[in-house]
Amino acid sequence: MDNPRRAHIKPYLFAMELPYIEPHKIKMVETIHTSTLKERSRWITEAKYNLFKLTSRQVTVDLLTDSGTGAMSDRQWAELIQGDESYAGSASFEKLRETVRELLGYPFFIPTHQGRAAENVLFSALVKEGDVIPGNTHFDTTKGHIEFRKARAEDCTIDEAFNTTTDHPFKGNIDLNKLETVFKSVPREKIPFVLITVTCNSSGGQPVSMANIKAVSALAKQYGIRVLFDAARFAENAYFIKNREKDYENRTIREIVLEMFACGDGATMSAKKDGIANMGGFIALREEDVYQQACTFNIMFEGYLTYGGMSGRDMAALAQGLKEAVTYEYLHGRISQVRYLGNKLLEYGVPVQQPFGGHAIFVDALKFLPYVPRKEFPAQTLAVELYKESGVRGVEIGTLLADRDPVTRRNRYPKLELLRLAIPRRVYTDNHMNYTAAALANIYARRNFIQQGYRIVREAPIMRHFTIELESAEEKTVLC
């Protein structure tokens, strides 16, 4: 008979590594909507093949964005109740300002209603006609706010970012040679700042290494140019630094975050991402004179300085969300779920960007649908197919998003044509990921029969992808 005193040793012989678990359990659920292929085909036609025009009731799993779609924690809801709605001097404002100061280390703070509002306010103070703003691929609202002021966003991302299969741990990095070329060819007074987007959404939610942040900062200092961050997913970026960069393994997320921002002079933030808030944003700054200038624009565009477009309760919930976002447990659960979806898709042979990004999986539409011509928007075509197949809503990160060249008015064809599946924070289970992966696998099996995409019927002059109207290229061909 086994020695009972040694029984505890036995299981270890067969021990398997425990999988990650979500660091939360569910207190409240929300019903999602299922539909038939016939219904979805009608709805997407009525929506002019623009997934932004679908109503949420027409969507089963919504991976359109991770922005403002996260689930707040019980502690955030508790904070909501304590929100101070005073117009001036709100205690919730103070709570948020202190949290941001503690995390980012910048003394000056301005709340705004979301990220693009922070861009609008800060760029009103800093960006003039003819300016050039180099950085890693600028997000579309950021680029929009730069181009709206007749300035130019110069993409200096490393080339590895544009090959979806090249293995590189930090595909959000800035190429220092490209950056220095801009510094050398543009007069210093025409470069108000370098912008580092962490993580780099438009190149696939890819992180920027601490080494790169430091090198960019040193180079910019050499030329007397300030460094700003687009901080929407700063905590996810810090997680990747901890896991992938030598020397940071034993540092806490908070320590890494502080060190990242110490390399810069300020940040704009869409708090709808790593703030785990449904609405909110802010500007954080080191320089008082820039702060003073931005304050004037904030009062004009957003509201008084102690609320800036947010209600007191939202500021209180955001302060708590930011604290939760910089815990390793939260980030590990979050990013492991994104990886889970990526691995499932790889299992099915679906071409996805690797390594996986922090907030989303990006499907390489040029590889997935090689027969759809680029002028018929392959990534949008894939997004429509996925919706029809399953009710899963993703978003095109490709030619429609890239807009037309402001001078030539021609379509700008970005190096990558991607379907983004952005995963809301703490909302879906891994089974929703299984469902999404199976739907894409089905389309992949019949991919060679998909040869035609869409053409534009109506578009806005800037940021067109939100409101664009399309028609099937196929229908037109049949009619002709």
Residues 385 to 404: which contact ligand F0G by CB under 6 A?
A: none
Active site residue 232: yes
Binding of residue 465 to ligand F0G (CB under 6 A): no
Binding of residue 114 to ligand F0G (CB under 6 A): yes
Residues 331 to 370: which contact ligand F0G by CB under 6 A?
A: none
Binding of residue 69 to ligand F0G (CB under 6 A): no
**Residue whose tokens read 């809503």:** 393
Binding of residue 142 to ligand F0G (CB under 6 A): yes
Closest-CA residue to 314 (of 95, 114, 80, 98): 80
Active site residue 140: yes
Binding of residue 90 to ligand F0G (CB under 6 A): no
Binding of residue 314 to ligand F0G (CB under 6 A): no
Beta bridge partners of 281: 112, 270
Beta carbon of residue 358, minimum distance to ligand F0G (angstroms, whole number): 11
Contacts of 332 (CB under 8 A, 6+ apart): 20, 23, 239
Asked if 153 and 194 count as a contact pair (C-beta separation under 8 A), the reply is: no
Active site residue 230: yes
Question: Which residue out of 117, 232, 235, 319 is catalytically annotated?
Answer: 232
Question: Which residue out of 95, 138, 272, 273 is catalytically annotated?
Answer: 273
Binding of residue 197 to ligand F0G (CB under 6 A): yes
Task: Give the 3-state secondary structure percentages of the chain, helix then strand then coil, rounded to 5.
Answer: 45, 15, 40
Figure out which of the listed residues 281, 308, 394, 414 binds ligand F0G, where binding follows CB under 6 A. Answer: 281
Could you give the 3-state DSSP secondary structure of residue 314?
helix
DSSP 217-272: HHHHHHHT--EEEE-TTHHHHHHHHHHHSTT-TTS-HHHHHHHHHHTSSEEEEETT
CB nearer ligand F0G, residue 363 or residue 372: 363
Judged by CB under 6 A, the stretch of 108-116, 144-152, 341-349, 405-413 that binds ligand F0G is 108-116
Beta carbon of residue 284, minimum distance to ligand F0G (angstroms, whole number): 14
The maximal CA–CA distance of the chain, rounded, in angstroms, is: 85
Strands 281-285 and 266-270 come out as antiparallel
Taking the C-alpha atoms of residue 421 and residue 342, their distance in angstroms, rounded to an integer, is 10
Beta carbon of residue 35, minimum distance to ligand F0G (angstroms, whole number): 23
Binding of residue 67 to ligand F0G (CB under 6 A): yes
Measured in degrees and rounded to the nearest 5, phi and psi for residue 376 equal -110, 20
CB nearer ligand F0G, residue 73 or residue 114: 114
Figure out which of the listed residues 201, 209, 298, 399 binds ligand F0G, where binding follows CB under 6 A. Answer: 201
Taking the C-alpha atoms of residue 130 and residue 215, their distance in angstroms, rounded to an integer, is 26
Active site residue 402: no
Question: Which residue out of 66, 140, 155, 364 is catalytically annotated?
Answer: 140
Distance of CA 199 to the CA centre of its chain: 7
Taking the C-alpha atoms of residue 136 and residue 199, their distance in angstroms, rounded to an integer, is 10
Distance of CA 283 to the CA centre of its chain: 17
Binding residue count for ligand F0G, defined by CB under 6 A: 15
CB-nearest residue to ligand F0G: 115
Active site residue 87: yes
Binding of residue 115 to ligand F0G (CB under 6 A): yes
Binding of residue 137 to ligand F0G (CB under 6 A): no
Footprint on this chain of ligand F0G (rule: CB under 6 A): 65, 67, 114-116, 139, 141-142, 197, 201, 230, 232, 270, 272, 281
Catalytic annotation, residues:
87, 139-140, 230, 232, 273, 465
